């Protein structure tokens, strides 16, 4: 280790404590023992530690602004989350800036740099479908910078998260299809690197197993783009063989479910008699399509409120407790409409 | 005028030149004559002019970030504009931060303050439905701060704007309804303080006049909220009297058109035979509702690209020409679907 180039990580490693403890010890935060503070400061001095540009920038004066990094603002679910965030933020005198990544890792990294250079007090993050490496967030968290992850939860230690119970939501949706007499149910799955996709798939599998319906791997179909065209093309192929035809779809989002319904209609199938559909997210348009689409509703507004509350606690208190690693889990609902409601 | 409290406006008034000329003269920008610069600087010295906090903040180093103030990010049209903005911004090394006003003037003013304190290089603005006073933007423009207004254009001097030709779009939509044999056409109008609402109403009137159909003031109905419930309630009342029933609607947005269609369906009218509908904006869901909705399409992506290009020119060149007051007008299209297509 060269003198003058020591980082917080080097100090943490040498003393076998976490980076955030080192960071807080250097800043004399409460909740760190006097002994630890002295050890950290002594080593920092010995190693000629200098806070780097990131740390200096993050330590600038309070801007009363929080940043939200989000894949797509047009997504109805995210827009309700944003509304919940703004509600709490404005009530507490904070402004909100939004940074859209378009599911692109390069833009996400650029967004974090924008946050660093713009003196934003804290960050709410739902990362992109492409994000497999979290170093751009870790470099902030190493400096005890307040971050709350929502909806899409990283597989990292020491994060504060707000999520919905996707697995139970998916399980209930598929159970409902089975109760309506559907037995040949396909799952249009989301991007594999997202925990929400895995949870939804597991809920689907759980409901089928419980009803003793065999799981067919070829009927768990990835729709990573989540566009109506993608699922329409996939489902047209799938539904074209009458001898081996699914009778329902559970899709990981409403757009994919709508595409599946278009495919079924174009092949002359009757909805919901011949083919049933349930989506996920309960988009604004879902009640307006023909037939109106059943969907798992997510408490987006509540998620935004909860995430903002946790973030403001981290910003205001700086206490150990506010930064304690945990996941707040919110419940989903099931909105049953005509697309899955057989009358007979 | 007290000494030490003189502003750029005071200097401009005293010399009978514009505030932005004063601002640029003080900053020694090119394009201002030597004589003017000398006069401005002499008067500034005499009046003990000091740049205020806004000016100082705006003059900080370049952040390579542009801000977008927008009423609602979830609005499909605005989301396509954002995509266009981001395309140009990222290609030129700029990041984009979004500030959502929720159609609320207080939040819009707060958003401008966030821009000032966050060293953003320039601003793209579509103002809120509540905005009647533009002082919060003018205080930036007085310091020659780059702003481009898009879609919603203020009634101000010296602004750079990008808009679509709403009047021609509305005219073509109503002309199409008339060609399909509809004669009793209602207009669901947008908020009255927005120029786009006025232009769309004028296009509607123009098409009726051209076809010698009398204008009925009671059939130009404000739907300021633009929610499906609002227009459904209005249209249920309107359609309940068979002796005086409209046979079509031209709505200033697709959500209002969808609400009108729901009302007609709930009263047992056949669409499009008994009742036709055309919306405005061509939202993502419009092709998926029953029957699929005809709509005026706006070049949102193109609008975003154009607005961002103009803004980057203002940021980069600082020349007179880049700041020259003008409105770039983009063309609309008409997407004809089943909701307005009588077969007979």
Encode pLDDT of B242-268 as tens digits. 999 999 999 999 999 999 999 999 999
Contact residues, chain A, for B83 at CB < 8 Å: 102
- Please report, for residues A161, A271, B167, the alpha-carbon distance to residue A324 in angstroms, rounded to integers and kept in the order given: 10, 49, 57
- pLDDT tens profile A189-248: 998 888 899 999 999 999 999 999 999 999 999 998 878 889 999 999 999 999 999 999
C-alpha span between A161 and B342 (Å, rounded): 53
CB atoms A119 and B114 under 8 Å: no
**DSSP-derived secondary structure for B265-329:** HHTT--TTTT-EEEEEE--GGGGTBSSPPEEEE--HHHHHHHHHHHHHHHHHH--TGGG--EEEE
Chain-centre distance of CA A143, in angstroms?
23
Query: Of A168-177, A277-286, B104-113, which has the strongest mean pLDDT?
Result: A168-177
Q: Which residue of A has its CA nearest to B284?
A: A285
How many beta-carbon contacts under 8 Å exist across A and B?
Answer: 106
CB atoms B289 and A284 under 8 Å: no
Nearest CA-CA distance, residue A238 and chain B, Å: 21
Per the prediction, chain B carries an average pLDDT of 89
- pLDDT tens profile A85-94: 999 999 998 9
Please provide the distance, in angstroms rounded to a whole number, between the alpha carbons at the two ends of chain B: 75
Residue A13 has a pLDDT of 86
Nearest CA-CA distance, residue B262 and chain A, Å: 9
Confidence of residue A115 (pLDDT cuts 50, 70, 90): confident
Domain covering B166-298+333-340 in this structure, CATH number: 3.40.50.2300
Closest CB from A111, A117, A283 relative to B63: A117
Confidence of residue B237 (pLDDT cuts 50, 70, 90): very high
Listed residue (A291, A297, A295, A296) closest to A338, CA to CA: A291
Confidence of residue B4 (pLDDT cuts 50, 70, 90): very low
C-alpha span between A225 and B37 (Å, rounded): 57
Domain with CATH 3.40.50.2300 in chain A: 60-163+300-330, 166-298+333-340
Secondary structure element (H or E) that encloses residue A189, with its range: strand A185-189
Nearest CA-CA distance, residue A52 and chain B, Å: 19
Mean pLDDT of B328-339: 96
CB atoms B95 and A82 under 8 Å: no
CB atoms B99 and A102 under 8 Å: no
**Cα atoms found within 13 Å of the Cα of residue A212, Cβ hemisphere only:** 0
Residue A4 has a pLDDT of 42
Q: What is the model's pTM?
A: 0.74
Asked whether residue A2 carries a pLDDT value surpassing 50, the answer given is: no
C-alpha span between A30 and A37 (Å, rounded): 10
Contact residues, chain A, for B74 at CB < 8 Å: 73-74, 76, 79, 82, 284
Nearest CA-CA distance, residue B171 and chain A, Å: 27
Q: Which residue of A has its CA nearest to B66?
A: A114
φ, ψ dihedrals at B62, nearest 5°: -65, 130
Secondary structure element (H or E) that encloses residue B82, with its range: helix B76-91
- pLDDT tens profile B150-187: 999 998 888 999 999 999 999 999 999 999 999 999 99
Mean pLDDT of B329-338: 96
C-alpha span between A290 and A258 (Å, rounded): 9
Give the best residue of A88, A97, A104 to mutate against chain B (max B CB count within 10 A). A97
CB atoms B95 and A113 under 8 Å: yes
Listed residue (B126, B129, B157, B130) closest to B142, CA to CA: B157
% chain A with pLDDT above 90:
59
**DSSP-derived secondary structure for B4-34:** T---HHHHHHHHTS-HHHHHHHHTT-TTS-H
Closest CB from B73, B79, B283 relative to A82: B73
Give me the helix-helix angle, B228-239 and B254-266, nearest 10°: 40
Residue B142 has a pLDDT of 83
Residues belonging to chain A with any Cβ–Cβ distance to chain B shorter than 8 Å: 63, 65, 67, 72-74, 76, 79, 82-83, 86, 90, 95-100, 102, 107, 110-111, 113-114, 117-120, 228, 258, 262, 283-285, 288-290
Asked whether residue B33 carries a pLDDT value surpassing 70, the answer given is: yes
Q: Which residue of B has its CA nearest to A72?
A: B79
Mean pLDDT of B29-52: 81
ipTM: 0.70
Residue A334 has a pLDDT of 97
Confidence of residue B1 (pLDDT cuts 50, 70, 90): very low
Nearest CA-CA distance, residue B256 and chain A, Å: 12
CA-based angle B296:A233:B291, to the nearest 5? 35
C-alpha span between A269 and A274 (Å, rounded): 6
Query: Which has more confidence, B37 or B285?
Result: B37
Secondary structure element (H or E) that encloses residue B45, with its range: helix B34-46
Residue A24 has a pLDDT of 81
Nearest CA-CA distance, residue A33 and chain B, Å: 36
Residue A5 has a pLDDT of 58
Confidence of residue B273 (pLDDT cuts 50, 70, 90): very high
Query: Which has more confidence, B137 or B55?
Result: B137
Asked whether residue A177 carries a pLDDT value surpassing 60, the answer given is: yes
Confidence of residue A59 (pLDDT cuts 50, 70, 90): low
Q: Which CATH architecture has domain A60-163+300-330?
A: 3-Layer(aba) Sandwich (3.40)
Q: Which residue of B has its CA nearest to A283?
A: B285
Query: Of A67-76, A138-147, B324-333, which has the strongest mean pLDDT?
Result: B324-333
Nearest CA-CA distance, residue A311 and chain B, Å: 19
Contact residues, chain A, for B120 at CB < 8 Å: 118
């Amino acid at each position: 280790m060269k003198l003058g180039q020591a980082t917080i990580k080097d100090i943490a490693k040498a003393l076998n404590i976490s980076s955030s403890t080192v960071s807080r010890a250097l800043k004399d935060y409460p909740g760190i023992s006097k002994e630890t503070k002295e050890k950290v400061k002594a080593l920092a001095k010995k190693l000629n530690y200098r806070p780097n540009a990131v740390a200096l920038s993050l330590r600038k004066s309070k801007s009363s602004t929080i940043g939200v990094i989000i894949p797509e603002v047009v997504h109805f679910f995210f827009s309700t989350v944003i509304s919940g965030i703004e509600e709490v933020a404005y009530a507490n005198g904070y402004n909100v800036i939004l940074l859209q990544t378009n599911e692109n890792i390069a833009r996400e990294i650029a967004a974090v740099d924008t946050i660093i250079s713009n003196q934003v007090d804290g960050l709410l993050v739902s990362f992109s479908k492409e994000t497999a490496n979290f170093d751009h967030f870790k470099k902030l968290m190493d400096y005890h910078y307040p971050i709350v992850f929502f909806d899409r939860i990283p597989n990292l230690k020491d994060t504060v998260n707000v999520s919905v119970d996707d697995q139970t939501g998916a399980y209930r949706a598929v159970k409902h299809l089975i109760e309506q007499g559907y037995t040949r149910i396909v799952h249009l799955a989301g991007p594999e690197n997202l925990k929400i996709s895995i949870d939804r798939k597991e809920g689907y599998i759980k409901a089928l197993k419980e009803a003793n319906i065999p799981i067919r791997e070829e009927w768990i179909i990835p729709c990573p783009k989540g566009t109506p065209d993608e699922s329409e093309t996939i489902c047209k192929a799938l539904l074209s063989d009458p001898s081996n035809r699914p009778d329902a779809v559970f899709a990981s989002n409403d757009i994919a479910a709508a595409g599946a319904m278009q495919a079924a209609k174009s092949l002359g199938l009757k909805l919901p008699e011949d083919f049933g559909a349930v989506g996920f997210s309960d988009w604004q348009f879902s009640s307006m399509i023909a037939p109106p689409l059943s969907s798992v509703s997510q408490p987006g507004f509540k998620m935004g409120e909860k995430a903002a509350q946790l973030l403001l606690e981290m910003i205001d208190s700086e206490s150990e407790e506010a930064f304690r690693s945990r996941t707040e889990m919110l419940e989903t609902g099931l909105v049953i409409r005509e697309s899955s409601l057989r009358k007979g």
